[in-house]
Each structure stands twice: as structure tokens, then as C-alpha cells.
Amino acid sequence: MSGSTGTWRSTTSHWGAYRARTTEAGELEIAPHPLDANPSPLLGNVAGSVRHATRVRAPAVRRGWLDHGPGRGEGRGREEFVEVSWDTALDLVAGELDRVRREHGNEAIFGGSYGWGSAGRFHHTQSQLHRLLNLAGGYTASRGTYSHGTSTVLLPHVLGDAATVLYRADTWDTIARHTDLVVAFGGLALKNVSVTPGGTTGHATATALHALAGSGVELAVVTPLGSDVPAAPNARWLPVAPASDVALMLGLAHTLLTENLHDSTFLDSHCTGFDTVAEYLLGSDGTVKGAEWAAERCGLPADEIRTLARRMASGRTLVTVSWSLQRTRHGEQPVWAGVLLAAMLGQIGLPGGGFGHGYGSIGHVGEDGPLLPLPTLPQGHNPVPAFIPVARIADALLHPGRSYDFDGAALTYPDLRLVYWAGGNPFHHHQDLARLRRAFERPDTVVVHETHWTATARHADIVLPATTTLEREDLGSGRRDTHVIAMHRVLEPFADARDDYAILTGVAERLGLGQRFTEGRTPREWLAHLYGEWRDRLADSGHEAPDFDRFWADGEWRLPAEREHPTPFAEFRADPERTPLNTPSGRVELFSPAVAGFGYADCPGHPTWLEPESDEDHPLWLIANQPGTRLHGQGDVGATSQGAKIGGREPITLHPADAAERGVGEGDVVRVFTDRGACLAGARLDDGLRRGVVVLATGAWFAPVEDPRRPGGTLCAHGNPNVLIADVPTSRLAQGCAAQHTRVQVERFDGPLPAVDSLRPPPIATA
């Protein structure tokens, strides 16, 4: 490794700002940002990842595609690759883009390319790709996110928009000063808050959560997992059954109603539809949603439910719902029921009260950096109106022309011929991976830019090697971050890897779009340009940032702190006539005539208890949550992630009694299975989780082999839970990702252990 021996360089990442340098011995050394009170354990993955054997060295083309041209998708993920020159690879990509748009129209190009690529405002991979595809005539886009794509469809119907709760949340400081009780449905998992899209400099959340202990704020933490509960004396764990939160919430609402603890004035002046909901709570469908009814479903004693409801009504209460709860079947309901509780308490718009969404899910919710705009790369305009809800990718590839519902509209899947993915990993993020493999057989061509041989790269036809952030220059800052960071180059590009910008410039030139794509700027000139424009915008609002050269030399600039942090919905609360919500009624819609009018049985017009899936053959609830040891699939080959594996497999956590029933001991390799597929995992026993619940985080690199226990079945030798989870939407309303849960069975695996091939590069020939 060469580049910057000895000198510490500044950079940032989704898991925080840090410093890096190469040592005399050529090793990469990493140090947290000096202002970071809680550096992320994910930093431990960086050094082992950047030069790992799974880096993509050179452009590579799948053998069958190279020999026979577009099509024959059965070979994807199975055939060898052939390394080719950059010129050959770029000619193939540009030629294929041009063929597809001429023969099938730009709608046949899928450029959604969802994923977390890298931090950095310029080399933001999706923006780069979208900019090129827009210039080339457009593409079918994807809408929404796997993170909170259900809430972003539902909340506009209920609160008028989703952004207010997602991005303008009350800060931890406001909560410490005003709140008596936080009821956190879905937990407050510290493992998650080291991540903020675009990065963070201070990682304030862990400190803030501990400080809440000192300020007397009580935390009622509702989750099946004890590990989601902050270790603070004022935090109480309410160990609910998975997929039962809506029952608990309705039980709490019933107690508030029948004990007259609800705020009828606020419900009349600021909400609509409470009457309908009240009738439902009292049994309009034949079932009274009382505390006993709720207790049977959620597993908490009825008395405790009633006591909690009374406690909620006796002071300032923040009802917060984690993003994980909407990443489930019927994931609209816990979000809507959370708003219902907050509305009944009458505290929406009061500091430290009302409804929160995503505290403990991600770093920026609750942090207090300024809400300033950040520099961004202009993407241009996409003239193609077609899109798919992001989590419907497999359906779209498998069923072109099929119609489906989405948020009140009847849509049709386009006929996708070319899939272009840069900066995301659908074989990480999507569900039912055996089905996704079949879907990926369909298009004529799959192009992927990747740093590493991820499962998606392995299922592509043309793989273009991308640099990592440490191998280029950028500038970065996340939502509610305190600094903008100059991201200096630390390493030379690996092997033949190029920046996504350089790759796309090569494609653009071949399509005659080179000048329009680059506007004649080098990456450094783009950085200076984007920074300069942003600096001018800040100057308009009275903030003086240093000039680019100063900023670049200093390595960072501290953003001006915000003096006040307005509470979300405070203006609406003060005067709902003058500042109504953006809902049809201008009020909080506890019953939505619009949603009811869509007539979806899986998403009725008000928060509703819909029975969760049950499966006698697969009696355990699997929670497939975010990994504490990496960001999704990124860094799985690094030290923090590898250090947690058991027997080379991803750890699965079981209750000791559930393990004993199955003859499973600590450290055993187990087979986890559903009817869709199976995976191996390493058993870790923990009595700090509910019985009947097992936890297997996402992100182990997919290593498919034939299941030795089920001929023809797919088994992931490494422990990727998405081979188990059904590819079903939350509902016809949001068509959101429902990846958080599935029913599984677990057994000890004593057979010969298959190798984890995903941790080595695939077979590659040189041309």
C-alpha cells in the first residue's frame, strides 16, 4: 500500500468520521475522530476489507454473456467470469444500454439501484448513475427505501408527511428536559445508532441515552430482545412477543378510553376519525380490544398494560416506534397505532411528547446538528415516469406486464431488459433469495459496479471494479452532523479499480454524452464546485464557511450550531386552522377515508389488529434485524464481523430452553429452515430474549449450496437470513419491505460442513 505513509488523513463513513494512514510496513491504520465520544465498532472492519481477496480486480464478464451476448440468464451466479480490458468492458456496457433503449425504450432499463453505497457527497454512487441514465434518456426508477418505505407511504395519509417525524425529531436534549416517560416500541438498540447515512462526527446518541438516566426520564422499552434495552437504571424491559405490538397499543388505547384518560379536546380539535376508532376499540367488529385481549396476544400481563396506560397519561410521554416495526407484514399498523396513542394523550406538538419514529434505529434521530442543506451532485431529470416500489424488484423481474396496487393506484410492472446496479446489494437486501435468483435470470443483461465480489456482483454479467472512499477524494457530512469532512485519499486505487465517476464518464463518452456528464470537471474540480455553490447558499442564510482550499487543508469545518430546535408539529398544535397538516382534513387522520376508500383488506382505514402469520411446522419467530458488527453486508470480511462468527457462520441467538429442546448447545452449528430455504448459523444461547424467539442479523455474504437435507433446496452455508424470509409486501398500500420476521425451525447440523465460498472470489479466467 502506498499513498500517504505516516500522515493521518481525514475521512468519513456511514459509521462515522475517522482518520486513516498507512504505516511504514504498508498496513492501513484507523483512528476514530478525536471528537467522537462513541466510535463505532464498525471501524474495525475497514482495514481488513480494503485489500481483501474479494476485491474486484479488473472488469469481468460472465462467460456465457461474453460468448453468446445478452440473455441465457440461467448462468448468472453459476458460470465463471472472464477478465477484460476497460475499453472492452465500457464498449459492452455502452453498446448494451444503447441497444436496449433503441429496441425496448428507456423504460426497459432498471436504474433504481437501491443501496447504501458509500458516504461522500460527490461519489454518491446512485446519484452518479442516475445522472448518466437521465442524460441517456431515462430509466425505470425505484421508489422508497427498505429502511422506512412503509412509513413514507402511510404517514402522508395520517400526518400529512413523513419527513417531519423522520428528519425533524425532537432532540435528546429536549427529551431530557421535558419528557417523563419514553415508551419505545421496538426498543432503543445502541447497536444501531453508530450508523447515520452520510456519516456523523460525534455519535451523540449513546451518551444522550445514558444521560437520560440522570435526568429522571423513564424508559419503557418494548421488545422481545433484552439486548435492545439501554443499560440504565430507569430503563424497564417489556418483553413482548414479536408482531404483537399493535395488540398492545390497542390494549393501551382501550384503557385510556375506558378510564377517560384520553384528551377529547385535542382529539376534537386536531384529529379526525377518533369516533370510528373508539367504536373499534369497544368492539364494533365483535372483539373488545381490552387489556386482557391484548395480554393474550402480546404476552405482557393485563395489569401491567393498564398500569402503563395510566402512567402514560400522567405526564409528558413520547411514544416512539422503531423502523423495524414497519418492516413487517402489515407494518403500516404499528406506526398508525403509535400515532393513535400519541393523539389520545393529546401531546403531539409539545416538546418531548407526541409521536417519534426511529429513535434508536439510526444515529440522526434525536441528534442536534444543524438542519442545513448539504452539497449534492445534480442528477438531472428522468423523463421516464415508470417506477416500482423499491421492494418489488423480484416481482417486477418475474412478472412484466402484471398489474398490482400501490397507494391507491393500479400500476403495471414494466418489461425490464437491462438491470444496472451501482452502490447496492439486492442479494443482501431482498428477501427469498432463491426466488431472487430466479428473477435475476430474466433480464437480458445485468451490469454491476462493485468494490467487492458481493452476491450481486456474482449474479451479474458485467462487473466493473469500483474504488472505495479511501482511494479517492470526496467531502462528506450526514443528517444532523456537526461537521463537514474533507475526505482525503489515503490509498492508491486497488488493482484496476476506477471511481464510479470515471466508469460512468467512460460510458457517457461512448454514448456521446461525455461533456454533458462531466461538464469538463475533474473530481477535485467537482468538489470545489459543489462546495462553492453550497458555501454561497450558506452565505445567503448568514453563515460564513471557509473557502474550498482552506476547508480542504483543514480537513473539516464545524457547522454553525442551531440555536433552537423547533418541536415537530408545534405550529400545527398552536393553530390547526392557520397551519393545518397536509392531510385531506388538515388534521391527524386516525381514520383515513382515503385509505379506507382503497378497499385493501390488508390495510383498512384505521389502525387495526391483523393476525400475524402462524406456522405449526416452523414454530419459532425469527427476528432478522440489523447487525451490530457491520453495516448490512459491508465489511463482512473485516475483523469485527469475522470475530463474531461461530464455526465460521453468522451467530444465531436462541433462548437456552428452546436450544435444549432441540439438543442444541452453545457453539453448535445449526440449520435454520423454512419452506423457502435454509441456512447454517452458529448457536449462541442467551436467556435475555423471549422464549420462542431467535435472532439472526442480516448481512452474512450469501453462500448458496444445495441443501443436503432437502434435494433441490437452497441452503446458505454462511447464515444469510434472507434465504428464509418470504418476499411479501407489507400490504397493498405501501408495498413495503417485510424483512424483519419469519417463522422458522432450528435443528442441530451434524453433517459435513459446506465451505463458505462467498468469502473467496468467484472463478475468474483471464481473456
Ligand X SMILES: Nc1nc2c(c(=O)[nH]1)N[C@H]1C(S)=C(S)[C@@H](COP(=O)(O)OP(=O)(O)OC[C@H]3O[C@@H](n4cnc5c(=O)[nH]c(N)nc54)[C@H](O)[C@@H]3O)O[C@H]1N2
Please tell me whether residue 451 binds ligand X under the rule CB under 6 A: yes
**Contact call for residues 466 and 447 (beta carbons, < 8 A):** no
Please tell me whether residue 431 binds Mo ion under the rule CB under 5 A: no
Using the rule CB under 6 A, which residue among 21, 289, 392, 429 binds ligand X? Answer: 429
Determine the interface stretch with ligand X among 316-324, 569-577, 597-605, 672-680 (rule: CB under 6 A).
316-324
Determine the interface stretch with Mo ion among 142-150, 181-189, 264-272, 394-402 (rule: CB under 5 A).
142-150
From ligand X, Mo ion, none, interface partner of 417 (C-beta below 5 to 8 A by class)? none
Q: Which entry of 15, 18, 65, 114 is annotated as an active-site residue?
A: 114
From ligand X, Mo ion, none, interface partner of 627 (C-beta below 5 to 8 A by class)? ligand X
The residue assigned the cell 428522468 is: 382
From ligand X, Mo ion, none, interface partner of 603 (C-beta below 5 to 8 A by class)? none
C-alpha cell at 120: 461522500
Residue 724 Cβ, how far from ligand X at the closest point, in Å?
8
Please tell me whether residue 423 binds ligand X under the rule CB under 6 A: yes
User: Helical H runs in 222-314?
Assistant: 245-258, 264-270, 274-282, 291-298, 302-313
From ligand X, Mo ion, none, interface partner of 242 (C-beta below 5 to 8 A by class)? ligand X
Site string for ligand X, 157-186 (x = CB under 6 A): ----------------------------xx
Please tell me whether residue 187 binds ligand X under the rule CB under 6 A: yes
Using the rule CB under 6 A, which residue among 179, 192, 592, 731 binds ligand X? Answer: 192
The residue assigned the cell 379536546 is: 265
The residue assigned the cell 442479494 is: 427
Please tell me whether residue 698 binds ligand X under the rule CB under 6 A: yes
Residue 377 Cβ, how far from Mo ion at the closest point, in Å?
21
Long-range contacts of 396-405 (CB under 8 A, 24+ apart): 396/110, 397/439, 397/440, 397/442, 397/443, 398/435, 398/438, 398/439, 398/442, 404/732, 404/735, 405/598, 405/600, 405/732, 405/733, 405/735
Of 470, 608, 551, the closest CA to residue 19 belongs to 470
C-alpha cell at 707: 441443501
Please tell me whether residue 192 binds Mo ion under the rule CB under 5 A: no
Residue 219 Cβ, how far from ligand X at the closest point, in Å?
13
Determine the interface stretch with Mo ion among 144-152, 331-339, 595-603, 710-718 (rule: CB under 5 A).
144-152
From Mo ion, ligand X, none, interface partner of 361 (C-beta below 5 to 8 A by class)? ligand X
User: Helical H runs in 288-373?
Assistant: 291-298, 302-313, 332-345
C-alpha cell at 402: 402484471
DSSP state of 390: G
Residue 521 Cβ, how far from ligand X at the closest point, in Å?
18
Q: Cβ contacts of residue 570 below 8 Å, gap of 6+?
A: 349, 350, 351
**Contact call for residues 368 and 204 (beta carbons, < 8 A):** yes
Q: CB nearer to Mo ion: give 113 or 147.
A: 147
C-alpha cell at 653: 441467538
Please tell me whether residue 624 binds ligand X under the rule CB under 6 A: yes
Q: CB nearer to Mo ion: give 196 or 467.
A: 196
Q: CB nearer to Mo ion: give 49 or 147.
A: 147
How far apart CA 693 and CA 675 sit, in angstroms, is 18
Q: State the pairing for strand pair 60-62/462-465.
A: antiparallel
C-alpha cell at 71: 440473455
Q: Which entry of 15, 116, 323, 421 is annotated as an active-site residue?
A: 116
Site for ligand X in 209-228 (CB under 6 A): 222-225, 228
Of 612, 605, 369, 631, the closest CA to residue 479 belongs to 369
Q: Is 116 a catalytic residue?
A: yes
Please tell me whether residue 721 binds ligand X under the rule CB under 6 A: yes
Q: What angle do CA 646, 647, 653 make, to 5 degrees?
A: 35
Q: Cβ contacts of residue 180 below 8 Å, gap of 6+?
A: 216, 217, 218, 314, 315, 316, 317
C-alpha cell at 559: 457547522
How far apart CA 201 and CA 233 sit, in angstroms, is 28
Q: CB nearer to ligand X: give 179 or 223.
A: 223
Please tell me whether residue 147 binds Mo ion under the rule CB under 5 A: yes
3 state DSSP class of 751 = coil
Q: Provide the residue count of the chain.
A: 767
674 phi and psi angles, rounded to 5 deg: -130, -175
Please tell me whether residue 729 binds ligand X under the rule CB under 6 A: no
Using the rule CB under 6 A, which residue among 449, 483, 510, 743 binds ligand X? Answer: 449
Q: CB nearer to ligand X: give 30 or 466.
A: 466
From ligand X, Mo ion, none, interface partner of 139 (C-beta below 5 to 8 A by class)? none
Of 638, 16, 91, 602, the closest CA to residue 328 belongs to 602
C-alpha cell at 39: 466510535
**Contact call for residues 109 and 139 (beta carbons, < 8 A):** yes
Please tell me whether residue 152 binds ligand X under the rule CB under 6 A: no
Q: CB nearer to ligand X: give 185 or 534.
A: 185
Q: CB nearer to Mo ion: give 76 or 428.
A: 428
**Contact call for residues 707 and 747 (beta carbons, < 8 A):** no
Determine the interface stretch with ligand X among 240-248, 267-275, 368-376, 403-411 (rule: CB under 6 A).
240-248
Using the rule CB under 6 A, which residue among 81, 116, 139, 673 binds ligand X? Answer: 116
Please tell me whether residue 623 binds ligand X under the rule CB under 6 A: yes
3 state DSSP class of 23 = coil
From Mo ion, ligand X, none, interface partner of 428 (C-beta below 5 to 8 A by class)? ligand X
Please tell me whether residue 466 binds ligand X under the rule CB under 6 A: yes
Using the rule CB under 6 A, which residue among 407, 441, 461, 500 binds ligand X? Answer: 500
C-alpha cell at 382: 428522468
Footprint of ligand X on this chain (CB under 6 A)? 115-118, 123, 125, 146-147, 185-187, 189, 191-192, 194-195, 222-225, 228, 240, 242-243, 245, 322-325, 327, 361-362, 422-425, 428-429, 449-452, 454, 466, 468, 500, 623-628, 631-634, 698, 721-722, 725, 739-740
What are the residue numbers of the active site? 114, 116
Footprint of Mo ion on this chain (CB under 5 A)? 147
